[in-house]
């Protein structure tokens, strides 16, 4: 976890001229980038809008219902407070680092590193915002006019790609970064690969994924259920994470909503045990049967879907007896303090890179040996049998297999919405659930507060 310097470090004479001051400004960008209290909402917004997750109960349900039912509009405050605001604060701080680097008294090596990290953080945030809102205002300097129009699709995509490419050479090799959670070459290339995949630039996505693989640092963690445990943090599958510790402002809050009422333990994961003092929210993060029922019993990932548990009264509760009521226990910390668990939340894992290259190569060449090998590598880790090339008569058949695999692999990691959009199934899946969804829903509206404050911004069509 990054340590932010005392407030006095942020005096202009220090921040803009000294190495410690500019580092503090960079760490301020990281702090907004890594904010944990909102991470549960990012995951939920990305999954209750899909075939994976559902929610009931508690205050969170008041706004999550709008995402479940596709009734969100520009007035939904979470779209500003949880997504837009924090990510533009990262961009603001990154721009300040870059604009003032010339006057900082520091070594050339330190300057190059700070510049590379600032460019990475800024590019990541624009990629994230593009995923949620489509084209957004491209702020690259504090000197730009207050009212700034949205960039064009091509302009924003070109900026993100070029910035991620530009920062790679001056970022450290994986494992050589000064602190866990700071950017390295693998993180930049992985984010680039995922951005290119989500924008369907298949050739470039395949190449970027291969560049991550060729770093010869990352590998799949051998036991899936242990991958997310606190004691296994910093393993070589995690390329980019939101670090968490069991402190209130820096903890992973997702488990507090994922535990069923009165949860004490589950026979599926006997190593996890609730103790008094660990918060269990009134809101209930639930999994949809439509998704859960697709798991094979032999799939090692299935153990993280809690189906039965023992409650505080000593009763064994069968969650499958109620529709859409099983839970994800991907993250749990026996040493959690209140609602703050210490499990890092992955942003990009090596499994994602393997499946990214497999998907991109299939889109280019149709079913092929390399894509199949990469897919089977991920499956094999979870004790599933290898698939064969004859199982896939078409590009579409292999594409569907990739989408299924990504669901089993990445549930509760906030990837399903973007996966369904990329595969052209986000709207159709919602309609199958009885939701009144249409094509405008593939992006969220610009927050109304931003439209009101920026006369140059035009709201997304349909909102």
CA torsion, ordered 8, 33, 210, 374, to nearest 10 deg = 140
Each residue's pLDDT tens digit, 421-461? 999 999 999 999 999 999 999 999 999 999 999 999 999 99
Can you tell me the mean pLDDT for 64-72? 98
Same domain assignment for residues 191 and 253: no
| Domain membership flag for residue 89 | yes
The answer for 314, left when phi > 0, alpha when psi is -120 to 50, beta otherwise, is left
DSSP 8-state symbol, 10: G
Same domain assignment for residues 147 and 256: no
Beta carbons of 348 and 239 less than 8 angstroms apart: yes
Q: Give the domain CATH number at 85.
A: 1.25.40.390
Cα separation, 2 vs 40, in Å, equals 20
| Domain membership flag for residue 281 | yes
Q: What is the pLDDT of residue 282?
A: 98
Final residue before a domain boundary, out of 329, 346, 363? 346
Q: Encode 150-200 in three state secondary structure.
A: ECCHHHHHHHHHHHHHHHHCCCCCCCCCCCCCCCCHHHHHHHHHHHHHHCC
Each residue's pLDDT tens digit, 70-82? 999 999 999 999 9
| Domain membership flag for residue 322 | yes
Cα separation, 280 vs 261, in Å, equals 7
Domain that holds residue 32: 7-199
Same domain assignment for residues 186 and 263: no
Q: How many CB atoms lie within 10 A of CB 451?
A: 16
Q: What angle do CA 88, 27, 37 make, to 5 degrees?
A: 65
| Domain membership flag for residue 208 | no
Each residue's pLDDT tens digit, 321-339? 999 999 999 999 999 999 9
* pTM exceeding 0.75: yes
Same domain assignment for residues 127 and 273: no
CA torsion, ordered 409, 178, 191, 150, to nearest 10 deg = 130
Same domain assignment for residues 154 and 246: no
| Domain membership flag for residue 230 | no
Element (H, E) at 85: helix 85-100
DSSP 8-state symbol, 282: S
Asked whether residue 36 carries a pLDDT value surpassing 90, the answer given is no
Same domain assignment for residues 189 and 245: no
For CA atoms 253, 298, 55, 124, the dihedral sign is positive
DSSP 8-state symbol, 433: T
| Domain membership flag for residue 408 | no
Each residue's pLDDT tens digit, 158-170? 999 999 999 999 9
Cα separation, 451 vs 455, in Å, equals 7
Q: What is the pLDDT of residue 13?
A: 59
Q: Classify strands 263-265 and 345-349 as parallel, antiparallel or unpaired.
A: unpaired
pLDDT band per the 50, 70, 90 thresholds, residue 227: very high
| Number of structural domains found in the chain | 2
DSSP 8-state symbol, 390: G
Same domain assignment for residues 167 and 281: no
């Amino acid at each position: 976890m990054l340590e932010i310097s005392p407030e006095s470090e942020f005096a202009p004479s220090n921040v803009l001229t000294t190495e410690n001051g500019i580092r503090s400004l960079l760490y301020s960008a990281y702090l907004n980038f890594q904010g944990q209290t909102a991470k549960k909402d990012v995951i939920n917004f990305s999954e209750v809008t899909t075939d994976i997750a559902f929610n009931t109960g508690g205050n969170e349900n008041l706004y999550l219902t709008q995402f479940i039912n596709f009734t969100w509009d520009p007035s939904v405050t979470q779209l500003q407070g949880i997504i837009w605001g924090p990510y533009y604060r990262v961009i603001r701080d990154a721009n300040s680092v870059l604009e003032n680097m010339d006057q900082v008294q520091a070594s050339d090596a330190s300057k190059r590193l700070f510049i590379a990290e600032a460019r990475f953080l800024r590019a990541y945030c624009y990629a994230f915002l593009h995923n949620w809102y489509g084209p957004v205002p491209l702020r690259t300097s504090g000197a730009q006019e207050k009212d700034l129009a949205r960039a064009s699709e091509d302009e924003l995509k070109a900026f993100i790609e070029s910035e991620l490419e530009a920062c790679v050479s001056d970022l450290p090799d994986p494992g050589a970064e000064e602190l866990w959670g700071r950017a390295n070459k693998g993180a930049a290339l992985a984010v680039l690969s995922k951005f290119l995949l989500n924008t369907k630039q298949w050739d470039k996505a395949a190449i970027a994924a291969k560049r991550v693989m060729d770093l010869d640092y990352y590998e799949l963690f051998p036991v899936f259920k242990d991958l997310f445990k606190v004691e296994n943090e910093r393993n070589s599958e995690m390329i980019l994470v939101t670090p968490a510790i069991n402190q209130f402002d820096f903890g992973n809050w997702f488990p507090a909503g994922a535990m069923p009422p009165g949860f004490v333990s589950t026979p599926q994961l006997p190593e996890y045990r609730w103790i008094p003092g660990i918060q269990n929210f009134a809101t209930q993060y639930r999994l949809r049967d439509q998704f859960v029922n697709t798991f094979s019993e032999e799939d090692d990932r299935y153990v993280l879907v809690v189906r039965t548990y023992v409650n505080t009264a000593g009763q064994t509760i069968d969650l499958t007896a109620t529709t859409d009521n099983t839970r994800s226990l991907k993250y749990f910390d026996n040493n959690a303090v209140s609602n703050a668990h210490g499990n890092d939340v992955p942003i990009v894992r090596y499994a994602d890179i393997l499946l990214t290259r497999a998907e991109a190569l299939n889109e280019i060449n149709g079913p092929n040996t390399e894509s199949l090998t990469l897919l089977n590598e991920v499956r094999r880790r979870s004790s599933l049998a290898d698939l064969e090339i004859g199982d896939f008569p078409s590009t579409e058949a292999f594409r569907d297999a990739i989408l299924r695999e990504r669901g089993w692999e990445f549930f509760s990691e906030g990837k399903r919405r973007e996966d369904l959009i990329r595969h052209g199934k986000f709207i159709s899946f919602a309609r199958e659930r009885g939701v009144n969804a249409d094509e405008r829903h593939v992006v969220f509206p610009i927050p109304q507060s931003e439209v009101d404050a920026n006369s140059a911004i035009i709201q997304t069509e349909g909102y």
